[in-house]
Amino acid sequence: MAETTEYDLIVIGGGPAGYAGAIRAGQLGKKVACIELERAGGTCLNWGCIPTKALLKSAELYQKMKKAEIYGLSAKEVSFDFAKVMERSRTVAGQMAKGIEFLFKKNKVDYFVGRGQVSAPGMVSVTAGEHKGKFFKTKNILIATGCKMRRIPDLECDGVRVMTSREALAAKTLPKSIVIVGAGAIGVEFAYFYNALGSKVTLVEVLPQILPVEDEEVARTLSRSFEKQGIAMHVGTKCENFRLGQNSVKVDLVAGDQKTEVESEVLLSAIGVVANLEGLLAPGVKLELDRNYLKVGDDYQSSVKGIYGAGDIIGPPWLAHVATYEAINAVQGMFGHGKAKRVKNFPGCTYCQPQVASTGLTEKAAKEKKLNYKIGKFPFTASGKAVASAESEGFVKVLSDAKTGELLGAHIIGAEATELIAEYGLAIEAELTVADIHHTIHAHPTLSEAVMEAAAATTGEAIHV
C-alpha cells in the first residue's frame, strides 16, 4: 500500500524555483516536501548555470595565461587537460547540489527523488524514480518543473555528433570543429568556450543579430569581438538539410538566396527550451496552458485553486534568478506573508568574454514605445582600472527619461559586466535617476566607476580616466 503523508506544501521540481520555494516555506514554519526527478538544484545547478560557469572560467584563465606577456609575465607551454576541465565542472555542480540538500535538512524540508505527479488537487504521487509509489496529501502544490532543451526537429540527439548543452557538459573530448545552432546566451557562451580552447567554431542565428534580446549596439560590439577571436558567425541564417556521417555533421546554411554547406565534427543545438510537462499531470487533472506553458495569475495560482506555478514552467524569461524570485513570492503570497509580486525588472547576463549584461529597456524598445529618452555612454578604455587590468574592451550605456532622468535601461559589455549590472537593477527598482547614480561616490580606481560615469555622460559630465 502506498505511503501517505500530509503537507502544507509540496513542490514538484528542485531547481532554482523549486528549492527556493520549498526552503522559504520551511522558513515560514510550514510542513513542506520537495520532489525532484534527478538531483537537488535542477537543471541550472547540475546541467546549466553553474557547471557552464566553471567551464567558462577555465577557458578565460587559459586565454589569460596564453597572453601573460601583456602583464609582464612569462608562461611557457601553456596547455590544458579537457577531461580535467570537465571533471572540475561536474565537481562544482556536485558541491553545490550537496549545499541545497543541506539547506533542505536545515529548514526541515522533506526531499524525495523521483517524478512528481499531480494526481488531483491536493494530491501528489511519485510515479518513477527512487521514491516511486509514495503518495502525499497537501494543502498547496507548487509546480516548478522548469524546461528542457528544445531539439531540432527530425535530428537525433545522440550525444556524440549532435548535442544539446546537457550532453556537452558530459563530453569527454574536445571537438576539433563545432557548429552551434542558436546564438542566444547558451549558444554564445559555448561558442566562446570551445573557441577559447581551440575548436573551430561556427555560430548560426536565424535572427538578425547574436544575443537577439540584447541592445543592438551591444550585439554589434560582441560580434566584432568574436570575429577577432576567430569565431565564424552567420546571422539571419537558417540551418537546413542536416546530414549525419560517421565522423562529421553536414548542414546547409541558408541566408536569402545564398546557400553554404558547413561540415563539422559536432553540432550543438542551442535553439531554446520547451516546458517540462512530461508525466506532470494525471489524466484527470486539467490546468490551463498558454503556448504550452503553465498559465498563472498575478498570485502565481493556476486555473485550479491550490495549484501554483513558478519559474521556467510559466514561461519567459527563462532565468534562474527570476525563477527564484517568483517561487519565493508565490510561497509568501499563498501563506499570507505579503502580496505576491510578479517580476517586472530583472538582469540578463551572458558570461562569455567580454561579458554582457543588461536590465530594463533596450534603445530599440524605447524607440518603439516612442519614449523621450537620453543616452549616457562610457567606454572602458577611459577606465583606469580597466586599462590597468588589460580589460578595456566594451562600454556602459544607460537610457533615462529625458525629462525626469529616471533610469529606463542599462547595458554593459566588458569585464565583470554581470557583476556591475546589479547597481542599475537596484536603481530601476528604486526609481532612481541618473543624477542619483552620478552623485553617489564610487571608489577609484574600480570598474564600477564606469557605471557612475555613464550616468554622468547623460548630461555631458563624465570626466574619469
- Please provide the DSSP assignment of 143-177 as one string: E---EEEPPPTT----SSSEE-HHHHTT--S--SE
CATH 3.30.390.30, applies to 354-457:
yes
What are the start and end residues of each CATH 3.30.390.30 domain in the chain?
A: 354-457
For residues 6-22, give the mean pLDDT. 97
Taking alpha carbons only, the member of 271, 241, 308 closest to residue 18 is 308
**Position 7 confidence tier, pLDDT thresholds 50, 70, 90:** very high
Q: What homologous superfamily is domain 4-149+274-334 in, according to CATH? A: FAD/NAD(P)-binding domain (3.50.50.60)
Tell me whether residue 444 is one of the annotated catalytic residues. yes
* For residue 3, pLDDT beyond 80: no
Cα gap 131→150, rounded to integer Å:
28
What are the start and end residues of each CATH 3.50.50.60 domain in the chain?
A: 4-149+274-334, 162-271
End-to-end distance of the chain based on CA atoms, in angstroms?
A: 73
* For residue 1, pLDDT beyond 50: no
* For residue 433, pLDDT beyond 80: yes
* For residue 286, pLDDT beyond 50: yes
pLDDT of amino acid 154 = 87
Q: What SS3 state is found at 14?
A: coil
For residues 183-208, give the mean pLDDT. 98
* For residue 36, pLDDT beyond 70: yes
Helix axes 449-457, 417-429, angle to 10 degrees: 50
CATH 3.90.550.10, applies to 162-271:
no
Predicted structure pTM score: 0.96
pLDDT of amino acid 465 = 54
* For residue 100, pLDDT beyond 90: yes
User: Which one of the listed residues 321, 337, 444, 464 is annotated catalytic?
Assistant: 444
456: amino acid identity, one letter: A
Helix axes 49-66, 185-196, angle to 10 degrees: 40
